[in-house]
Each structure stands twice: as C-alpha cells, then as structure tokens.
Amino acid sequence: MATNPPPDLAAESKAIFDNLLNFDVMIGGRLIRIIYYVGLVAIGLGTLGGALAALSAMSYSFGTGLGMLIGVVVALVLGVLFWRLTCELWVLMFRIYDALVAIRDKP
C-alpha cells in the first residue's frame, strides 16, 4: 500500500520544483557548494592518478619520479586554491545579485 508523503514534504518538493521552473529565486548559490565539492573530488582523483604515475616512473628513474611527485603536490595545492577562488567568485556574483534585489525591493 502506497502512502502519501506528509503535507509539508509535498509542499517543499513543489516549491523546489517551482523554483526550477521560474527565475524568481536563484538556486545557483546552493549549486556552487555542490559543484565545489565535486571539483575537490576530481582534483583529488587527478592527484591520486598523478602520484601513482610518479611512483611508477620512479621504477625507471628515481629523479624523474621524484620530480613528478613534487609537481603533483604543487599542482594539488595550486589546483585547490584556484578552484576555491573560482567558486568564491561565483558565490560573490550571486551575493551581489541578492544585494541588488534587496536594494530594488527596498521601499
């Protein structure tokens, strides 16, 4: 036997669906957080792949593998910093939009 969801859950899901269909409420600020974490996972997987490649290269030439490993660590730090800055700029744009809407709606 199927049961109906509680009324507040149904109303909340309808509100979310309505927000997707019209542009009265910006959902980008919430999506940026999700995209940020997905990007961090991608950076982590790329770093793991680079570290494994560096360790594999060490079997042929220790110096080359060590250089690759140092490069992977540097790329990890720079990648995370760049990704964070990029996501913060997107969040800033949405906050500017919210502030402009508040100014416009001020009596």
Q: How many domains does the chain have?
A: 1
User: pLDDT digit string (tens) for 37-63?
Assistant: 999 999 999 999 999 999 999 889 999
In a domain, 12, yes or no: no
Q: Which two tokens stand for residue 14?
A: 């309808």
3 state SS for the chain: CCCCCCHHHHHHHHHHHHHHHCCCCCCHHHHHHHHHHHHHHHHHHHHHHHHHHHHHHHCCCHHHHHHHHHHHHHHHHHHHHHHHHHHHHHHHHHHHHHHHHHHHHCC
Confidence of residue 6 (pLDDT cuts 50, 70, 90): low
User: pLDDT digit string (tens) for 74-91?
Assistant: 999 999 999 999 999 999
- Say what the pTM is: 0.71
In a domain, 34, yes or no: yes
In a domain, 6, yes or no: no
In a domain, 17, yes or no: no
In a domain, 11, yes or no: no
Distance CA 83, CA 61 (A): 32
The range of the structural domain enclosing residue 68 comes to 28-105
In a domain, 87, yes or no: yes
